[in-house]
């Protein structure tokens, strides 16, 4: 996260918005923007390119929650939603939608900084996990392609697995490419010829 955070606050009540902005200004050096009307929310949020989004809504419906979470880009940045205690039943939906924090006790200015810090930390952990998962999936797909290419070489040349991998590795080194890329080309070519 950058040193000076840009924060978008979604709050329709003007007095509450002022209290939130004041609490943020007291707790750190932030650039704070308030969105007072939820129409066109995605466009308004992206116009500010915030580091964090704070949404204060008394009693969101499931549809409103999904719309707000999609509009605020919870997979791109930390998003914390503050709701009244009566709206506590939507916590699972909010977390599944990617919110970093869902506080069912409303927004209290004195609790804003610690909740925001927790939302940022949770977001960073989730982003790291998503990145690691994507890398693992990519590596698994590459492993499958390499295994298929080795199988093709073993069958075509009547060689063992070690020799097949050596051929792939040598071709990759000769061409200045990754083994997975050479394997992908071999599998694609074999598919075209069969």
Is the Cβ–Cβ distance between 168 and 150 less than 8 Å? yes
Question: pLDDT digit of tens for each residue in the chain (194 aa)?
Answer: 667 899 999 888 888 888 889 989 888 889 999 998 877 777 888 888 899 988 887 766 666 666 666 666 666 888 888 877 766 567 777 777 777 887 877 777 778 889 899 999 999 998 899 899 999 999 999 999 999 999 999 999 999 999 999 999 999 999 999 999 999 999 999 989 87
**Which alpha helices (DSSP H) does 14-61 contain, by range?**
14-27, 41-48
| Predicted structure pTM score | 0.71
Query: Any bridge partners for residue 6, and if so which?
Result: 31
- Distance between CA 113 and CA 22 in Å, rounded? 12
Main-chain dihedrals φ then ψ at residue 162, nearest 5 degrees:
-60, -40
Residue closest to 79 by CA, chosen among 47, 105, 42: 42
Say what the pLDDT of residue 83 is: 79
Say what the pLDDT of residue 67 is: 65
Q: How far is CA 87 from the centre of its chain?
A: 25
Is the Cβ–Cβ distance between 52 and 78 less than 8 Å? yes
Query: Any bridge partners for residue 39, and if so which?
Result: none
- Distance between CA 150 and CA 36 in Å, rounded? 60
The one-character DSSP state at 10 is E
Say what the pLDDT of residue 153 is: 96
């Amino acid at each position: 996260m950058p040193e000076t955070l840009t924060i978008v606050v979604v709050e329709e009540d003007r007095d509450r918005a002022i209290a939130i902005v004041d609490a943020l200004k007291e707790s750190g050096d932030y650039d704070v923007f308030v969105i007072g009307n939820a129409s066109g929310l995605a466009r308004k949020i992206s116009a500010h390119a915030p580091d964090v989004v704070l949404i204060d809504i008394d009693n969101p419906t499931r549809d409103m929650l999904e719309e707000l979470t999609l509009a605020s880009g919870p997979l791109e940045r930390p998003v914390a939603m503050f709701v009244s205690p009566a709206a506590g039943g939507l916590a699972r939906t909010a977390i599944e939608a990617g919110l970093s924090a869902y506080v069912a006790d409303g927004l209290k200015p004195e609790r804003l900084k610690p909740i925001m810090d927790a939302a940022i930390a949770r977001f960073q952990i989730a982003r790291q996990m998503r990145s690691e998962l994507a890398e693992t999936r990519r590596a698994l797909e590459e492993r499958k392609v390499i295994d298929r290419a080795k199988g093709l070489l073993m069958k075509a040349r009547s060689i063992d697995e070690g020799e097949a991998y050596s051929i792939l590795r040598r071709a990759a080194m000769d061409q200045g490419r990754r083994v997975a890329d050479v394997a992908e080309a071999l599998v694609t070519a074999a598919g075209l010829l069969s």
